[in-house]
Structures are given as structure tokens and as C-alpha cells.
Amino acid sequence: MQSYWFGDIDEHGCTPYRGGPKALAKRLETIKISPEHFVPFDWRVAEKCGYMPDHKEYIRKLRDLCFYLAEVGITRQYESRDAELLQMVRTLDQLDEVSNVLTERALEWHRINNPGFSRKYMRLPRQKLLPMMKRGGSQAFRQIINEIENLASARTSLMKEVSRRADEVVPNCSALLGGLVAARLVSQAGSLQTLSRLPGSSIQVLGARTALFSHMRGGTPPPKHGIIFQHRRVHNAPKEVRGKVARVLAAKLAIAARLDQYRQEPAPEFIEAAQAAIDKAGRVI
Amino acid sequence: MIWVENVLVSRGEGGVYGEHMLKEFRVWDPYRSKLAAYYYLGGVFELTPDLVVLYLGAANGTTVSHVADYAGTVYAVEFAPRPMQDLIAVARRRDNVVPLMADASRPDRYATLLEMADLIYQDIAQPEQVTIAIRNLMFLRDGGRMLIMLKTRSIDTAEEPGVVLEHSVAALEAARVNVLDTKWLNPYHKDHAAILCVPARD
């Protein structure tokens, strides 16, 4: 017997399925086919099934079903728990870019009106630099600085939210990496599902695309770390063991991502053992 | 194919993606669409109103909309939710487009929805692009053709595009598919090649 979206066909003829898109979609889920035994069909088979007078009507019914399926599919994809985290962390990184560009420009502007301004002021933390620049600027200038300060405060609250959400969505990766970097890792991979299917060696160099490809094309040294460099145990590690720390951390992250994807809860024993392994890799003998 | 003063066009309702209109025709830009580039470079496969097309990798439905202007029925397969939203909007305005949200590498998931196709057109950015194309051959009618837009850089970034094409053609031949014609899509699309092929008859 062969099952198609509109009905079943066997030697006795056709058993049609009637009903709206929802009912048809539900039945479709129960059909399992194997490519070796499947017989693709001509729409005329459906015509014989009785309730589709012509190709136009056939396509109309099929389209109703497919629109329904596609919309359900889209909703399901967007519902996955990491979809919003992804947008949040990308917004965060873009906020940084925007506020840096604006600050640089405002500094150049500020310089023009303040001959005494020099490099040493650039080293001031931004919270001090911005209010200082505001004094004596024109109204529009002050307004811009205010906006930069607003962006900074929006960034702070978004960052807290990203960390919190990452602890929920990827608890094991967050425990190893910290929420923010874990979220960036998911964002770079594209989704938690993709991340959970990557080997440790790929996770290690996620985000080091340029270096990786220049290595593959031109034989430059391979990158030791991508995004995970942002984690303190990697960038604080002494140079000679940094690659090792990155490798061990990435290997543990590969396991953590799978736990996050399929178990969806923290695994304390694993985290403890993984932390110990990573710390051990960082020790210089 | 319809040409107006050496510009490739299609006949249909405009305003799908901001395309230009030429009289009552929609201009089909070779820089945006690999299939249009294929025709600009002398591609021979004609789209006719009786064709059933299986379109793998439909994306936002830009090229799909032009194919639908020419062909009978277009089954448009796309996996990612974002382009799918645009594709649905395109399909709503063209009643010969059937949008399928599915992974082209898993034909068993959408097999029950398809009819036999006269043309399988594939434009997907996957390293195993050719394998996926071969897997979908089960939907090709006798005498039907397959047109693959090979993204050599997605298949192997480090290898020379020419070598990637050679390997792909070899893989097709090994699967008993005869390659009729290959065409580089320069200058419209860098490192892309069109492969027109047909399964060998038993």
C-alpha cells in the first residue's frame, strides 16, 4: 500500500482522506515512508481517488495543506527556546558597535572645540569621559552624548537579561563559559541544535573564521581559539598552555551543548568534572 | 524564454521583490538570479507552461516567482523559517506555487506531497549539494532534466572551483546521471556553475 497526502492506494483502489488542512496535516505525521519502497505519483492518481475533479482543484487543496504546514513549521522553529536568545545577543553586540562608533565620532568633534584635549583623556573610563565632554558642548552635541549614555544603560540591562536567559536555555554551557560568552557561542553556531551537533574541534574555532580559512587556503598557523577566547580561563592562561585550555574547554563544551539540547537541565556532576579538567589543563608544570 | 530588447523577462504580476517592469513584463535580473544568468549565458533548457518543476532551495522566492511565470506548477522546497515567510507571501499571489517547508536532504519527509517533476532545479548552499540532488531524482519523470546550480565555494572553500566541478560531475556520472552541459555563471555569479543533466536510462 502507498500512502499519499490525499489518501491510501492499494490494489483494491483508493481510500481518500477528506478533511481540512489541519486533519490532513495530522494524518501526514503518521505516514512513515522509506525512499526505497516509495512510488512517486502522478496527480491523476488522486483524480482516480474521486474527490479531485481536475489539476487545478488538486493544487488548490494541496496548497491549502502546504500553507498550513509551512505556517506551523515556522511557528515551531521560532518557538525554540534559543531563537530569542540569539536575537538578544546579536542586538547586544550591535549596540556595542553603534555606541563605539558614535563615541569615536563625538570625540573627534569634541577635539575641534577643545585644543587642550589630548590622548591622555582617551584612557578615561567612558562614564567619566562622556560627562566631561558634555560640558561646554552645543545643545545638539549634548543631546548626542545623552543618547550614547542611554545606549550604555540599555546595554547593561540587556546584558543582564542575556546572562539570565542563557542560564535558562544553555545551563551547562553557561556554567563552563559564563552566560554571555555561551550565548555568543550559540549565536555564532546559528542555533543550539547546530551547536550540539558540532565536534569540539569546531567549537574551539567558532568565530575564528578568517584565521581558519586563511589556514586552510594558505597554510598560515591554525587558530587556537575563536569565541571561547573571551572566556577568562582562555585569555588569562599562559601562552604556552592557552591552546590546550581552549581545546579541553571546547571538548567539554561539545558535551555541555548536547546536555543542554537533549536534557535541558544542569548536570552538576558533569560540570564539576569538566571544570576540574579545564583547570588542570591551565596549570603550567 | 521571453526576451525584450535583449532583456530577459517573464510575464506575471509584478511587485514581488521590487523588480523592474518592462512594458507588461517583469525584468529577470541575472545578477540576482542564477537561473536568469544561465539563460543570459546561452542556457538551452526552456521553461514551458506544461512543466512541473521541483525547486530545491527556494529561499525568498525571487527566482521561484519567475519560474512560476513560465512553468505549470512549481513545488518550492525551503527549510529556513525566515526566507520561508517571504516564500509564503510569494506563493499566496501565484496559485501555481506549492510552498514546502522541508529539508531537501530528507526527501522522505515531503515525498507524499509531491507529484512527478519534469525539471528538478537545485540551488542550495550545502557541501553535499550533489548527493542531495541525486537523492531527489526519485521524483523525476522519465525524460525529465535536472539543473544544478553548483556553489563550488560551499562545497569546498579551499579547492579550486574547477576541480570541485570536476568532482561533482564525476559524482553524478557515478550515480548513473549523464551530464549534458556545464556552464560557469561568470560574470554574474562568481564560482558558480550550472550543470544540466539527465538520469541514464536502464
DSSP secondary structure code for residue B113 in this structure: G
- In Å, what is the CA distance from A277 to each residue of A233, A235, A281? 12, 17, 6
Output the pLDDT for position A259: 95
- Residues lower than pLDDT 50 in chain B: none
Residues B195/B148, Cβ–Cβ less than 8 Å: yes
CATH superfamily ID and name for A170-285: Nop domain (1.10.246.90)
Output the pLDDT for position A32: 82
Question: How many beta-carbon pairs below 8 A join chains A and B?
Answer: 76
pLDDT in tens, A92-126: 999 999 999 999 999 889 888 888 887 777 788 88
A209 at the B interface (CB within 8 A)? no
Amino acid letter, residue B141: R
Beta bridge partners of A181: none
d(CA A203, CA A66): 36
Residue B116: alpha-carbon gap to chain centroid: 16
Residues A75-87: what's their mean pLDDT? 86
Question: Quick one: what percent of chain A has pLDDT higher than 90?
Answer: 56
Write the burial class of residue A213 (CB in 10 Å: 0-12 exposed, 13-18 middle, 19+ buried).
Answer: middle
A34 at the B interface (CB within 8 A)? yes
Q: Which of residues 70-109 of A touch B (CB under 8 A)?
A: 70-71, 73-74, 77-78
pLDDT in tens, B40-66: 999 999 999 999 999 999 999 999 999
- Cα-Cα-Cα-Cα dihedral sign, residues A268, A274, A278, A281: positive
Output the pLDDT for position A43: 79
Output the pLDDT for position B95: 93
Q: Do A38 and B91 touch (CB under 8 A)?
A: no
Mutate to test the interface with B, among A59, A60, A79, A213 (most CBs of B within 10 A): A59
Cβ contacts of B28 within 8 Å, gap of 6 or more: B8, B9, B10, B19, B36, B39, B66
Spell out which residues of chain A touch residue B135, defining contact as CB-CB under 8 Å: 35
d(CA A96, CA A20): 49
Could you tell me what percentage of chain B is helix, strand and coil, using 3-state DSSP and rounding each to the nearest 5?
30, 30, 35
Output the pLDDT for position B101: 95
d(CA A110, CA A104): 10
Cβ contacts of B80 within 8 Å, gap of 6 or more: none
Residues B9/B28, Cβ–Cβ less than 8 Å: yes
Residues A199-210: what's their mean pLDDT? 93
Three-state SS at B164: helix
Q: pTM for the complete prediction? A: 0.76
Residues A202-211: what's their mean pLDDT? 92
Residues A162/A179, Cβ–Cβ less than 8 Å: yes
Domain ranges of chain A: 2-79, 81-168, 170-285
Please, what is the Cα angle at B55 between B54 and B58, to 5 degrees? Answer: 155
Tell me the H-state helices in chain A.
Answer: 21-30, 43-48, 55-79, 82-113, 119-122, 126-134, 139-169, 171-177, 179-189, 192-196, 200-205, 209-218, 232-235, 239-262, 268-281
Q: Do A40 and B115 touch (CB under 8 A)?
A: yes
DSSP secondary structure code for residue B109 in this structure: G
Check pLDDT > 80 for residue A52.
no
Q: What backbone torsions phi and psi does residue A60 show, to the nearest 5 degrees?
A: -60, -50
Instruction: Tell me which residue has cell 579550486.
Output: B160
Residues A170/A209, Cβ–Cβ less than 8 Å: no
Cα of first residue to Cα of last residue in chain A, in angstroms, is: 68
Upstream peptide bond of B187 is cis (omega within 30 degrees of 0):
yes
d(CA B182, CA B196): 6
Cβ contacts of A208 within 8 Å, gap of 6 or more: A223, A225, A226, A227
Amino acid letter, residue B186: N
Average pLDDT for chain A: 89
Q: How confident is the model at residue A219 (pLDDT cuts 50, 70, 90)?
A: confident
Instruction: Tell me which residue has cell 525571487.
Output: B62
Q: Do B84 and A4 touch (CB under 8 A)?
A: no
A219 at the B interface (CB within 8 A)? no
Question: Quick one: what percent of chain A has pLDDT higher than 70?
Answer: 99
Residues B47/B67, Cβ–Cβ less than 8 Å: yes
Check pLDDT > 80 for residue A215.
yes
Cβ contacts of B50 within 8 Å, gap of 6 or more: B72, B118
Range A81-168 has CATH code 1.10.12:
no
Cα of first residue to Cα of last residue in chain B, in angstroms, is: 32
- In Å, what is the CA distance from A26 to each residue of A31, A49, A269, B108, B170? 10, 20, 41, 17, 42
Mutate to test the interface with A, among B88, B95, B101, B136 (most CBs of A within 10 A): B101
- Tally Cβ neighbours within 10 Å of residue B20: 12
Output A56 or B99, whichever has higher pLDDT. B99
Of all residues in chain B, the one with the smallest CA distance to A64 is B98
Amino acid letter, residue A282: G
Candidates B81, B96, B157; nearest CB to A78:
B81
> What ipTM does this complex have?
0.93
Q: Do B101 and A70 touch (CB under 8 A)?
A: yes
Output the pLDDT for position B201: 81
Output the pLDDT for position B17: 92
C-alpha cell, A195: 551547536
Check pLDDT > 80 for residue A80.
no
Candidates B92, B112, B157; nearest CB to A5:
B112
Range B32-199 has CATH code 3.40.50.150:
yes
Candidates B99, B111, B138; nearest CB to A70:
B99
Residues B45/B182, Cβ–Cβ less than 8 Å: no
